[in-house]
Amino acid sequence: MIQFNHTDSYNSKTNIFERSYWGRKTDVKVILSKDEIRRMNLCFKENRFLDLSDSIIAKSFFNKSPLYKSRVSYNNSCIKKVVNISFDLESKENNRKAKRVFEIINNASDIIYQKKQIRDLEPSNVYLE
């Protein structure tokens, strides 16, 4: 499962993309090709995802929202979190780890958001303030 932002997520086990709207959610079935699955798995491997700690606190410049949480799980066994907190002490090591997780999220985003059924969805009306 990859949570792209506060409204969108994709579960590769069920092939369901979920988008939240004010008062409702929409689920869309998104089947990935063998090549897309291979590209996603390669990105997890190249970024040594399973070697990362379960929680990473990084500087807020990785995301527009300072209290944003990203969740990524691999093979439904291990959940990794990236939490951006703007007042956190600078940690170059944690920032490097967070970049590895965001590489995975960006790779998956490039694959999922180019799908016609996702492009055809109305934008979410849920906003962060």
Write out pLDDT tens, residues 84-129.
Answer: 543 345 667 777 777 888 888 899 999 999 999 999 999 999 987 6
Q: How many domains are there within the chain?
A: 1
Contact 70, 54 (CB under 8 A): no
Q: Quote the pTM value.
A: 0.79
Give helix 92-112 / helix 34-46 axis angle, nearest 10°.
180
Does 128 fall in a domain? no
Does 124 fall in a domain? no
Residue 112's domain spans which residues?
2-119
Does 127 fall in a domain? no
pLDDT digits (tens, 9 = 90+) for 31-88: 999 999 999 999 989 998 888 777 776 665 544 444 456 667 776 555 666 655 433 4
Q: Which two tokens stand for residue 2?
A: 């990859």
Beta bridge partners of 55: 81
CATH of the domain at 105: 3.30.1560
Predicted confidence at residue 65, as pLDDT, reads 46
